């Protein structure tokens, strides 16, 4: 299998595809990497000039220069230095073939598909040779990467920056739309229902105690606080499960800790089985929150 599976040339300002290599490989991870490639291409104006998106067996590399970005999907066994040498070669050849005016005026996708023949030639050289072309200096690229390492991008980076690039305000709390999360599971629905039930029980007990607390001169006010705090923690766990936040695991464990402390404080107003039930539900919710991840649902960008 070729070490360089796909190459992509896009205009930075709007992510318009200019050219791409013909797709000869078809496997699941490659299609996923292509989806990520499209996500990155839509946010290039917000990204550094050089970046990397690492995958299990395939990595994405890109460089941007003079309003054009050169992107590639390579095998993880292919060194980063060689990948960036390939992209520099691609940049050199593309700039020799097309000027800024022609690049800036195009409005339809893939106007320079004939450049694929050049891409294939460079791909073949790098995939089956342990040395870059004569134009590229491998040691110089390696030294540059050592001094200025390539920016490693995560899925969260791509989601947030892509949303900003498309004119959507980036949420302060780091939340993303729920449709970007994995599908809700049956166990997840169960945890939501149990959490809502626990929240309701906490609210009912807390409101009920307020009346007696006022009659007794605010004696027992901390019991009311404990019930209401547990109520809010249950609701917050429901929110964390349904919506993405950048620090959701930390928030989930904090909510679990508060539920646990509140129930310990309420020992006497609740028996041991009630305490175990509430903490078990909170623990289940924390597990569900921690294991539900982002899911990309983007169109393929293959040619």
What pLDDT score was predicted for residue 130? 64
**115 and 122 Cβ atoms separated by less than 8 Å:** no
Q: Which residues of 85-107 are buried (b: 16+ CB within 10 A; e: fewer)?
A: bbbbbbbebbeeebeeeebeeee
Residues whose CB falls within 8 Å of the CB of residue 296, separated by 6 or more in sequence, listed in order: 32, 35, 36, 39, 155, 159, 180
Q: How confident is the model at residue 303 (pLDDT cuts 50, 70, 90)?
A: low
Rounded average pLDDT over 260-285: 90
Q: How confident is the model at residue 150 (pLDDT cuts 50, 70, 90)?
A: confident
What pLDDT score was predicted for residue 302? 47
Q: How confident is the model at residue 63 (pLDDT cuts 50, 70, 90)?
A: very high
**pLDDT score of 245 more than 80:** no
Residue listed under structure tokens 């050592």: 146
- 4-165 folds as Beta-Lactamase (3.30.450)
**pLDDT score of 163 more than 70:** no
Q: How confident is the model at residue 209 (pLDDT cuts 50, 70, 90)?
A: confident
Mean pLDDT score across all residues of the chain: 81
What pLDDT score was predicted for residue 7? 92
Residue listed under structure tokens 């009346």: 211
Residue % of the chain over a pLDDT of 90: 28
Q: What's the Cα-to-Cα distance from 199 to each of 73, 76, 124, 259, 281, rounded to whole Å?
A: 48, 47, 61, 11, 11
More confident residue, 26 or 10: 10
**pLDDT score of 98 more than 90:** yes
What the block records as the tokens of 165 is 């690039």
Question: In residues, how long is the chain?
Answer: 303
Residues whose CB falls within 8 Å of the CB of residue 187, separated by 6 or more in sequence, listed in order: 284, 288
In this prediction the pTM is: 0.54
Rounded average pLDDT over 227-242: 90
**pLDDT score of 137 more than 80:** no
Q: How confident is the model at residue 218 (pLDDT cuts 50, 70, 90)?
A: low
What SS3 string covers the chain?
CCCEEEEEEEECCCCCEEEECCCCCCCHHHHHHHHHHHHHHCCHHHCCCEEEECCCCEEEEEEEECCEEEEEEEECCCCHHHHHHHHHHHHHHHHHHCCHHHHHHCCCCCCCHHHHHHHHHHHHHHHCCCCCCCCCCHHHHHHHHHHCCCEECCHHHHHHHHHHHCCCCCCCCCCECHHHECCCCHHHHHHHHHHHHHHHHHHHHHHHHHHHHHHCCCCCHHHHHHHHHHHHHHHHHHHHHHCECCCHHHHHHHHHHHHHHHHHHCECCECHHHHHHHHHHHHHHHHHHHHCCECCCCCCCCC
**pLDDT score of 175 more than 60:** no
**pLDDT score of 168 more than 60:** no
What is the residue extent of each domain of the chain?
4-165, 178-291
Q: How confident is the model at residue 158 (pLDDT cuts 50, 70, 90)?
A: low
Given CA atoms 85, 54, 300, 48 in this order, what sign does their dihedral have? Answer: negative
Q: Which of 55, 32, 40, 53 is nearest to 10 (CA)?
A: 40
What pLDDT score was predicted for residue 172? 37
**pLDDT score of 70 more than 90:** yes
What pLDDT score was predicted for residue 188? 87
């Amino acid at each position: 299998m070729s070490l360089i599976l796909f190459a992509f040339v896009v205009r930075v300002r709007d992510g318009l595809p200019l050219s791409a290599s013909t797709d000869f490989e078809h496997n699941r991870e490659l299609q996923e990497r292509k989806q990520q490639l499209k996500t990155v291409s839509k946010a290039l104006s917000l990204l550094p000039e050089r970046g990397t998106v690492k995958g299990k067996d395939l990595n994405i590399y890109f460089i941007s220069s003079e309003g054009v970005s050169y992107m590639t999907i390579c095998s993880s066994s292919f060194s980063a230095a060689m990948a960036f040498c390939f992209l520099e070669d691609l940049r050199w050849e593309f700039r020799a073939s097309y000027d800024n005016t022609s690049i800036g005026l195009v409005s339809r996708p893939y106007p320079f598909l004939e450049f694929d023949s050049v891409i294939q030639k460079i791909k073949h050289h790098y995939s089956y040779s342990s040395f870059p072309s004569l134009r590229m200096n491998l040691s110089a690229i390696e030294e540059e990467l050592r001094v200025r390492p390539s920016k490693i991008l995560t899925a969260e980076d791509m989601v947030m920056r892509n949303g900003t690039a498309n004119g959507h305000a980036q949420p302060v709390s780091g939340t993303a739309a729920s449709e970007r999360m994995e599908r809700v599971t049956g166990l997840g629905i169960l945890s939501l229902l149990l959490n809502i039930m626990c929240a309701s029980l906490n609210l009912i007990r807390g409101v009920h105690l307020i009346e007696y607390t006022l009659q007794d001169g605010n004696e027992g006010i901390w019991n009311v606080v404990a019930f209401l705090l547990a109520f809010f923690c249950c609701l917050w766990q429901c929110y964390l499960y349904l919506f993405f936040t950048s620090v959701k695991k930390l928030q989930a464990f904090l909510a679990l800790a508060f539920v646990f402390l509140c129930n310990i404080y309420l020992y006497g107003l609740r028996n041991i089985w009630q305490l175990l039930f509430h903490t078990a539900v909170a623990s289940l919710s924390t597990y569900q929150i921690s294991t539900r991840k982002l899911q990309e649902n983007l169109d393929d960008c293959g040619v």
